[in-house]
Amino acid sequence: MRIAFNGVGCGWGNTGGTQSVFRMADALLELGVDVQLWADMPSKFTWFSPRTPLITTDMGSAPETDVLISTGVVTVKNTWKFSRKRVGIQWARGYESWAMPETKLKTRYALDLPLWANSTCLAQRIQRVSGKDVDVQYCGIPLDEFYPTESTDEFTVGALWSDKPAKKAKTVFDLMGRPELSDVQWRLFGEYTLKNKRENMRFQHRPGMEAKRGIYSACDVWVATSVTEGLHIPPMEAALCGAAVVSRSGLSAGTGDYCVDGISGCAYDTL
């Protein structure tokens, strides 16, 4: 049996969504499943090299597959059309599920594709909007890739930098400006460049896996500022590298599946 993940129309980039897709595909490949990753443009993902074959194709010339999985709202319609005589699955992702108008989401959810989410929190949101059952499948994080590698004598806080409003990265700079945190060192990384750097901050643009591991390991605390995520991956990676996680609470923060206040982290209504 062949399973294909459909990225035709959106492609693959350095995002948590692409990472989740690639991790899931590689896990299936390891189980002996025939798996492919489809897109109509070259992959821009640089964090690691997936073992699953990357197929460059459009939907008109796509190879045969038994199961086709949409990987975002852009690929739902072409997955549905391609899968009329096959098995199709809609992987409902966090970004569109929180950011798009509910009327548009309902149109996608109404198609006869089984719904699949990568967190319980996101599944609850989708169930409320669609009225349909949603299966939950976690993408997983390899324990041999994220572990403590270094430490510093200075108290260090880490965070993800993005210029997308939903990431609420401005919160990090608000925290940096607090007098009681003036002695704290900050480690940030992100897909986007950062111009306004501070003296007590180190920023790395588009780090690879080894560099990310070093950033996480240098942090005593990792602050997750996002308000809209499906399953927020960086805080999990940071925790595996020894950092304590501080996040927003609520279904949309993407950390509710693993950051339990007072047990596995600290969750606050506001940061």
Cα dist. 160→98, 166, 206 in Å? Answer: 19, 12, 11
Q: Any idea what DSSP says for residue 265?
A: B
Cα–Cα distance, 113 to 19 (Å, whole number): 23
**What stretch of H or E contains 235?**
helix 233-240
pLDDT value at position 240?
Answer: 95
Question: Which token pair is 191?
Answer: 């897909």
> How many CB atoms lie under 10 A from the CB of residue 259?
23
Q: Is the pLDDT of residue 269 over 80?
A: yes
Output the average pLDDT for the chain: 90
Indicate whether this model's pTM tops 0.85: yes
| pLDDT per residue as tens digits for the range 132-168 | 999 998 887 888 889 999 777 899 999 999 888 888 8
pLDDT value at position 85?
Answer: 67
DSSP state letters, 154-175: S-EEEEE---SGGG-THHHHHH
CB-based contacts of 60, cutoff 8 Å, min separation 6: none
